[in-house]
């Protein structure tokens, strides 16, 4: 499973990229706001850091305006994936931009039917939001499984990009289900290394090592 990092923080992206933990980046208007930077400037910098897809989101609501914004965003770098919402206008935009050879990430997906429409419109990625479904007592992981089954049934090449990832369990379950990609904040990706038994074991090793009175360096 590919790891995308969900942030516009270039320092965090660079750190994870240097460790080989970044296959791509996703951004959205909220993350651009948090960065405090110009969308074109920060997106270009991110594209220079990572070689994989970098999702940059349109903010228009009508197809014609989305298409115009998408074309402008796509000019930032060859690895831009234009991010559009899963609305009828977003699907129209996806069809046009994917037809022009641009990568398109269709976001805010909350049903298998929506995912089916996005695949038929030529989406490169579909982004189902797991955590937000869990917030309203629906199982976001069930949605990932449903989409995986449908895409496999009909040979759709659209990649499932599991989004709104909040826990280590989300990551593991998405990998088991067969999501192609997951995107998560840097803190969640770093948190995957943590385990109480790892900490406990290391603590015991250090105590025992201290008792030997030895040094390696």
Cα–Cα separations (whole angstroms), residue 50 to 10, 59, 75, 151: 10, 23, 16, 28
Q: Is 72 a catalytic residue?
A: no
Cα–Cα separations (whole angstroms), residue 28 to 81, 82, 108, 149, 163: 12, 11, 11, 28, 12
- Residue 101 region by backbone torsions, left for phi larger than 0, else alpha for psi between -120 and 50, else beta: left
Distance CA 200, CA 114 (A): 45
**Angle of helix 10-18 versus helix 39-49 axis, rounded to 10:** 10
Catalytic pick among 2, 72, 75, 83: 83
Grouping H, G, I as helix, E, B as strand and the rest as coil, residue 174 is helix
Looking at the chain, the number of H-run helices and the number of E-run strands are 11, 8
**Phi, psi dihedrals of residue 98, rounded to the nearest 5°:** -65, -35
Q: Would you please indicate which residues are annotated as catalytic (active-site) residues?
A: 83
């Amino acid at each position: 499973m590919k790891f995308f990092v969900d942030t516009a923080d270039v320092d965090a992206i660079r750190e994870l990229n240097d460790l080989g933990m970044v296959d791509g980046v996703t951004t959205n208007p909220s993350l651009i706001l948090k960065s405090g930077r110009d969308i074109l400037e920060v997106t270009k910098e991110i594209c220079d850091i990572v070689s994989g897809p970098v999702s940059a989101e349109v903010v228009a609501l009508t197809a014609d305006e989305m298409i115009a914004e998408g074309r402008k965003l796509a000019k930032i770098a060859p690895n831009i994936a234009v991010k559009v919402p899963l609305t009828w206008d977003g699907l129209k935009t996806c069809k046009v931009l994917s037809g022009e050879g641009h990568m398109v990430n269709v976001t805010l997906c909350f049903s298998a039917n929506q995912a089916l429409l996005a695949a038929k419109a030529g989406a490169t990625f579909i982004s189902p939001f797991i955590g937000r479904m869990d917030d309203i007592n629906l199982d976001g992981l069930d949605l990932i499984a449903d989409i995986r089954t449908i895409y496999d049934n009909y040979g759709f090449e659209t990649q499932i990009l599991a989004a709104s990832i909040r826990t280590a369990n989300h990551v593991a379950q998405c990998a088991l289900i067969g999501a192609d990609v997951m995107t998560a904040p840097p803190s969640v990706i770093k948190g995957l290394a943590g385990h109480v038994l790892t900490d406990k074991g290391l603590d015991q090793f250090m105590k025992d090592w201290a008792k030997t009175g030895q040094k390696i360096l």
